[in-house]
Structure 1
Amino acid sequence: MSEPNVALVTGANKGIGYEIAAGLGARGFRVGVAARDDARLQEAVKTLVEKGVDAFGVLLDVASDTSVAEAAAQLSRLDVLVNNAGITGGMPQHPTGVGLDTIREVVETNVLGVIRVTNAMLPLLRRSESPRIVNMSSSVGSLTRQSAGDQGPISAAYAPSKSFLNAITVQYAKELRDTPILINAACPGYCATDLNGHRGHRTAEQGAAIAIHLATLPDGGPTGAFYDDEGVVPW
């Protein structure tokens, strides 16, 4: 009997990340629940296991080189990586008033964290037959939509970090286009999570659906694109 495929989901102790882990687990994946808060991490793993998911905890701070390296060393196999961990940096974020430290902190997690984790996990993903990477973005990261009108609040840290993430996703796709690795950005929609004080109109489970879809794309599927439930989102 073959071993199950293994997925790692960052920021998976709650919200959309938790639902991504649950959804992949329901599809037969062994799921690494990655988060930096050990107590909440272990509670999420316990809940998932009680629901029948083959889940295990991975203590991981995406902003720490040491933490990411230690997390990668724990794994012997990886087929799917979902870069879900992210922060807003708090509001308001008017460009004339936001502190540079806030911008640095948001980019460190939302962009550099994705690069740090992805590069650490790539050796494992390269050994997979059908490796997939999903970067959790946002509609506010679409420069097309931002330019066309009111797409979320004025945000000089969070929204640009997601635009940056989208651009990085494209560059990875270009570099990896001659490999089996498919990498795409996902927009979960405006979900009710801790990130926005639960003001969203969609559930975390609904937001997780597009990530699960992209994580389970067939071989030869799309790469280097930005998707929500309705299809391709303009960059």
Structure 2
Amino acid sequence: MKQIVVLTGAGISAESGLKTFRDADGLWEGHDVMEVASPQGFARNPELVLEFYNQRRRQLLKVTPNAGHKALVQLEEKFKVDIITQNVDNLHEQAGSGNVLHLHGELFKVRSTADENHVLTWKKDLVLGDFDENGHQLRPHIVWFGEMVPMLEPAIEIVAQADIVIIIGTSMQVYPAASLVNYAKLGTPIYLIDPKPNVNENDFESLTIIAKTATIGVPSLVMQLIDH
């Protein structure tokens, strides 16, 4: 069975109504992202950081997977499918995808500030005074700027096995898609689904650009691959 590796970014979640991480000016409701997405920011103002993620968690509880997420599930009928996402939502899992690797963590999980391997499922607000059983403050299970990306090595190994790579809603010039795609075997077909692609098909070997949104481009490509 051929293996398809799908790299997804904010573009696919945005169509479900989730705000992308940064506004056009790089701010989130007036905050510099380093204030709300870095260890230093958390040390300076933990209440602000926790509220930033509380708002995102509340928003995630109100949205549902879109046609792009759902179409990827159909691929599993004919292919081995691994999804590597930089999104912290669980829309791929909600849609029914079986193998999802989160590069940047997950909104519906929290972890101990004393032990990064002590991870809990969490769907409500997280506030100061929410401790693990040893009395340590819990924090969002999110990879912040300046922190290691522990799932990067497993992601590289998965991409290296791919027979086909599909990139959705993330630029091929921005981490992680740009770096991960380089680990695919030479000649591996790569499909980029993005309404405003910032690369040309000549920029990468075996690249096909589908200049459409995820909700239109993904179902179309999935039908093509299944019928092939």
TM-score by length of 1: 0.42
Structure with more of its chain in helix, by fraction: 1
Q: Which has the higher strand share?
A: 2
